[in-house]
């Protein structure tokens, strides 16, 4: 009886002791998160690196070191080259369009007007909803026979009659023609990432001190001068962060291409992630798949470090 009371007392005392020790609580609180991330991000990443330099497949899981052979092998396949080119082109072109449109959109949305809440809701929809579902909407909008876009073109006599601007055929076949399929994919990336980039830039715009803008106004600075010499330089760090997110989410996405074209026509809209998926998951060539997936990682890492450094430095000065 007495012993249990003392034990209980001691336990309470012990609990009280460690629950007050900041140097113990801090690491203890952090530990589960760190363990989880090391176990399920760190280790898989190391496995990915290991796979890329071995000859592992689903059928033969022994890891025999083969050096850079996988990289040499994938570099020879036309699908990989196409995928690499597409990944780079889709990303670069969409980022340029996104950054221009996001600036315009942020400036428009940072003013007050009636119905702003609803406008923001509509504009945020592409980012908020699961990308595959949005892409399915586009798949139907770009249908080769019943596309309502084609209907509008026909209605405006731009399509489907002799001498029409877009051609005499009834439809444009967006996803069956190489250039149009590529343009469609880029457009969906823009559609998807624009809201995120715009709201991040908006946060940057609203953080500019009002007296600075008032002063510029008093000094008679025009709209364009205020924009290019005050607003844009001040939100440059935020803009680089917006660009970083949009870039990484675009490069790392495979849902758009997978849902929209499955890499077709033929393999001309294949990107690295979809190609890695076909190789690594569907054909079981784990090593080549891992090498394909890892291929752009050094570039991404370098870009991320550069952007974070830049946004930090400009913040200080």
Under rule CB under 8 A, residue 195 binds another protein: yes
Which residues are registered as beta bridge partners of 54? 65
Q: How far is the CB of 268 from another protein (least distance, A)?
A: 20
Summary count for the chain: helices (H), strands (E): 16, 0
Q: Does 83 bind another protein (CB under 8 A)?
A: no
Q: Does 137 bind another protein (CB under 8 A)?
A: yes
Residue 23's contacts (CB-CB under 8 Å, 6 or more residues apart) are none
Range list of H helices, 111-229? 116-128, 131-141, 148-155, 178-206, 210-218, 223-226
| Tokens matching residue 298 | 């050094």
CB of 71 to another protein, least distance (A): 15
The first and second tokens of residue 101, run together, are: 């449109």
| Piece of 3-11, 68-76, 176-184, 284-292 that binds another protein (CB under 8 A) | 284-292
Residue 25 within binding range of another protein, rule CB under 8 A: yes
Please report whether residue 14 would count as binding another protein according to CB under 8 A. no
Question: CA 272 to CA 74: how far, in whole Å?
Answer: 11
CB 242 within 8 A of CB 117: no
- The span from the CA of 59 to the CA of 42, in Å, is 25
Distance CA 289, CA 269 (A): 18
Residues that contact another protein, how many (by CB under 8 A) = 100
- Please say which residue, 68 or 119, places its beta carbon nearer to another protein: 119
Helices 178-206, 232-251: crossing angle, 10 deg rounding:
140
Any contact of residue 45 with another protein (CB under 8 A)? yes
Cα angle at 274 between 268 and 280, to 5 degrees?
125
* Between 4 and 156, CB nearer to another protein: 156
16 lines the binding site for another protein (CB under 8 A): yes
From 175, 199, 231, 269, residue interacting with another protein (rule: CB under 8 A)? 199
Residue 60 makes contact with another protein by CB under 8 A? no
140 is an interface residue for another protein by CB under 8 A = yes
Stretch that binds another protein, among 72-80, 90-98, 188-196, 210-218 (CB under 8 A): 188-196
Interacting positions 287-306 with another protein (CB under 8 A): 289-290, 293-294, 297, 304
- CA angle (287 as vertex; 284, 291 as ends), nearest 5: 120
Structure tokens, 118? 């609803």
> Quick check: 36 binds another protein (CB under 8 A)?
yes
Residue 67 CB, nearest distance to another protein (Å)?
A: 19
Q: Give the DSSP letter of residue 129.
A: S
Residues 237-276 close enough to bind another protein by CB under 8 A: 237-238, 241-242, 245, 248-249, 251-255, 258-259, 272-273, 276
Residue 173 found at the interface with another protein (CB under 8 A) = no
Contact (CB, 8 A) for 274 and 254: yes
Q: Nearer Cβ to another protein, position 72 or 129?
A: 129
Residue closer to another protein by CB (options 138, 267) is 138
């Amino acid at each position: 009886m007495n012993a249990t009371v003392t034990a209980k007392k001691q336990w309470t005392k012990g609990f009280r002791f460690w629950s007050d020790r900041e140097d113990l609580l801090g690491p203890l609180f952090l530990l589960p998160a760190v363990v989880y991330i090391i176990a399920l991000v760190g280790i898989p990443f190391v496995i990915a690196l290991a796979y890329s330099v071995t000859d592992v497949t689903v059928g033969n899981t022994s890891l025999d070191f083969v050096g850079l052979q996988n990289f040499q092998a994938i570099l020879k396949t036309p699908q990989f080259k196409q995928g690499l080119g597409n990944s780079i082109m889709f990303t670069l072109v969409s980022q340029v369009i996104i950054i221009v449109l996001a600036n315009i959109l942020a400036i428009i949305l940072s003013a007050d007007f009636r119905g702003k809440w609803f406008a923001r809701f509509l504009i945020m929809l592409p980012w908020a909803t699961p990308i595959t579902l949005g892409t399915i909407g586009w798949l139907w909008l770009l249908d080769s026979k019943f596309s309502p876009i084609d209907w509008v073109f026909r209605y405006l006599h731009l399509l489907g009659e002799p001498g029409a601007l877009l051609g005499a055929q009834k439809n444009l076949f967006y996803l069956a023609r190489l250039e149009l399929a590529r343009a469609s994919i880029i457009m969906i990336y823009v559609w998807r990432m624009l809201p995120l980039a715009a709201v991040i830039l908006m946060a940057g715009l609203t953080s500019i001190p009002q007296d600075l803008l008032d002063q510029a106004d008093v000094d008679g600075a025009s709209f364009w001068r205020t924009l290019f010499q005050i607003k844009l330089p001040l939100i440059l760090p935020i803009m680089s962060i917006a660009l970083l997110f949009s870039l990484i989410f675009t490069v790392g996405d495979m849902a758009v291409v997978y849902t929209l074209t499955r890499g077709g026509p033929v393999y001309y809209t294949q990107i690295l992630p979809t190609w890695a998926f076909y190789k690594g998951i569907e054909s079981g060539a784990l090593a080549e798949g891992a090498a394909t997936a890892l291929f752009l990682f050094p570039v991404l890492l370098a870009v991320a470090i550069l952007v974070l450094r830049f946004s930090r430095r400009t913040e200080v000065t």
